[in-house]
Amino acid sequence: MRNRFVWFRISSVLAVAAAGVSCSAGTDGVAQPMPEKVSASEASGAPEHRVSDPLDITPYLSRPCDLVSPRLLGKLDTSPNEANPSLPEDDKVAAEAGPGCSWTGEGEGSIGIGIDSGNKERGVGGLRGLEMARDQGRYKLWEETSIEGYPAVYMGVRDARHEGDCDLAVGIADDMTFGVSAISFRENPEKACQVAAEVAADVIGNLKAAN
């Protein structure tokens, strides 16, 4: 069950963006609905988050487990045979957030990836959508970085890195991100974000090879 949980975690963390921009403060602090679609000018990446060399992740919507190479999975003490895909036609969370995949290794820790197609469909795709949710106080952890030249952010509704859990979102187009979770690295908590970054770099490399 742990590998299922890690994918659910990253999908839930990133899907907060859609919830975060779907309502606004009304009178007396009561949330009021906003239009289902956010304008392109609002949701497009801020200048520092613009992606000059976008990557097309569309071919992987039906096979998200292929985003991570067998080589890296082997290094992380797991394999393609341990993959647990979550697809929109089979899973309610995936239907809302986007497809994903998770793996549990023989040692400590589990990894999961999610394609944030749900945010894009709602008009809040890309890092800008997540940033809008951050500005509304949805995330307690927000540390910007880059992975292989692509804008990224370590994020979370709380900072659990000291517990061996790490969530990372990477912008691969102005309106598209993918997320990586590395969790349950209890013996070596600092390893979680290292693994998340390594998985993200592997995904980018595989996308570049396919584009």
Question: Domain containing 168 — which CATH number?
Answer: 3.40.1000
pLDDT tens, 128-172? 989 988 998 889 999 999 999 999 999 999 999 999 999 999 999
- Does residue 25 lie within any of the structural domains? no
Output the pTM of the full model: 0.82
- Does residue 42 lie within any of the structural domains? no
Beta bridge partners of 153: 144, 169
How many domains are contained in the chain?
1
- Does residue 43 lie within any of the structural domains? no
Range of the domain at 7: 2-18+51-210
Tokens at 160, concatenated: 């659990």
- Does residue 120 lie within any of the structural domains? yes
pLDDT tens, 69-89? 999 999 999 999 999 999 999
- Does residue 33 lie within any of the structural domains? no
- Does residue 61 lie within any of the structural domains? yes
- Outline where 22-137 has alpha helix (H): 40-43, 70-75, 92-97, 117-121, 126-135
pLDDT for 202 equals 98
pLDDT for 46 equals 46
DSSP per residue over 12-33, as a string?
HHHHHHHHHTSEEE-GGG-EEE
- Does residue 45 lie within any of the structural domains? no
Q: CA-to-CA distance for 54 and 73, rounded, in angstroms?
A: 25
204 vs 11: which has the higher pLDDT: 204
- Does residue 31 lie within any of the structural domains? no
pLDDT tens, 43-65? 444 445 789 999 999 999 999 99
